[in-house]
Structure 1
Amino acid sequence: MLGDHTRPEVRLGRSSWLWQRWGMSIDGTRYGHGISVHAKSTVTIDLNRECTSYDALVGVDDMTLGPGTVRFSVYADGARLWRSPVMRGGDAAVPVSVGISGRKTIRLVVEPHRPFDSVAVADWAQSRISCG
């Protein structure tokens, strides 16, 4: 982990590759910021303080060419709080909003729907953790 442990931080040793981006695009709509990951990924975030919600818009990035169907999930302290429908390239972004009060860790997971879908790039656009 990097930082002073007083705010949410990605746990590097327990997370997959991620690309913090500005200007990502899902179904032709551009978003100001977020993270992009491979279709099989886990990003673990230690909250380090009392936080109330996690919000994002998720989808397959427009840079994915060809196949790419994925499913997104949000876990907190090991319990799944939210799961998307199966999403394909060209689908509109789906909003995520989960309460995380009293939680210590959240985990953002993307799973390929079929084995060859692991080449897809998946986006957590407008990704935001709200803390007190």
Structure 2
Amino acid sequence: MISPNHETDLLVWSVRRVLGAGEWLLQEISDHGHADECCDGPADALAGALVDLPRQLAAFTHYSDGRPIVSYVKADGGGMQFYTLWPPHPADMPTEAWEELPTAVAPHARHGDRGYVVVRWCPVTFTGSVRYIAPPRLEVVR
């Protein structure tokens, strides 16, 4: 659905930012294994507040001027998904494509052992492309 007006564009953009930050925070809490349960209550409250947002936001796919709100690209056989949230103001749109920092592909044994992916976003086509970087080759020196 296309957003009905610019005010709704701003609201959808803001809620998507909150959702992304909340999901990232919950993942960080989980990854760092807060075994002392210091964060269980706040994390559960945040997860509960975010639970319905993806479904509700899915109704809005384009800003009121017709531009997409968000673009996705998958990597590593679909095991990784990246997205970019386009700005709600057309004047704030980037004019050149850009690359994100390399992200490690899920490791077999250690970080980076399967290489990295770099995502390039194009503001003209509103698409992302993925470039793979091979892992560094380790040589045994004797």
Q: TM-score, normalised by structure 2?
A: 0.27
Considering fraction of residues, name the structure with more strand.
Answer: 1
Considering fraction of residues, name the structure with more helix.
Answer: 2
Larger radius of gyration: 2
Q: TM-score, normalised by structure 1?
A: 0.28
